[in-house]
Amino acid sequence: MMIEPRNGLVLRYSYLWARQYDRREESGRKDRPACVQIIVSGGEAGTIVALFPITSQASSDAGSALEIPETEARRIGLALPAWIIVDEWNLDNLATSAHIGDARPLGTFSAAFMQRVRKAAAARIRARRYRSISRR
């Protein structure tokens, strides 16, 4: 099944946390919901997207995550509380990725919520307080 990348799409993904990458781990420990946020590039090599992890654990760093509103969580079928991490992401090609847990998307976040996510991630990038892990 081909996944058409679009901002706000949520799917199950074997997310590799930066701390796991730093320990030279090569795969995530479990499939978790992850949100396609930024389409980084396209072309012959395929479309590379940034996948932001979704977690049930609050972050101790206030700027690193956004709490997912109840209406957005219901749209995707997420249990509450839930946060989307905005200071780290995996870069991957959804057409060729071996890290997708299930090709059937869980749903899509609203454009308004995704705008909040984009602004929060951009602030972390400007502050140089982010990690980007390539999975391609």
Give the Cβ contact number of residue 131 at 10 Å. Answer: 15
DSSP classification of residue 47: -
Q: Which pLDDT score is estimated for 130?
A: 95
3 state DSSP class of 21: helix
The two tokens of residue 7 are 């901002």
Among the listed residues 22, 2, 37, 3, the one whose alpha carbon sits nearest the alpha carbon of residue 116? 37
Residue type for position 51: L
Please list the pLDDT of the chain residue by residue as tens digits (136 residues).
567 888 999 999 999 999 999 999 888 888 899 999 877 776 676 788 999 999 998 887 878 999 999 999 999 999 999 999 999 999 999 888 999 988 899 999 999 999 999 999 999 999 999 999 999 7
Distance, in Å, from the CA atom of 88 to the CA atom of 65, rounded to the nearest integer, reads: 10
Contact 30, 14 (CB under 8 A): yes
3 state DSSP class of 133: strand
3 state DSSP class of 115: helix
Q: Which pLDDT score is estimated for 76?
A: 95
Q: pLDDT digits over 89-123, tens only?
A: 999 998 889 999 888 999 999 999 999 999 999 99
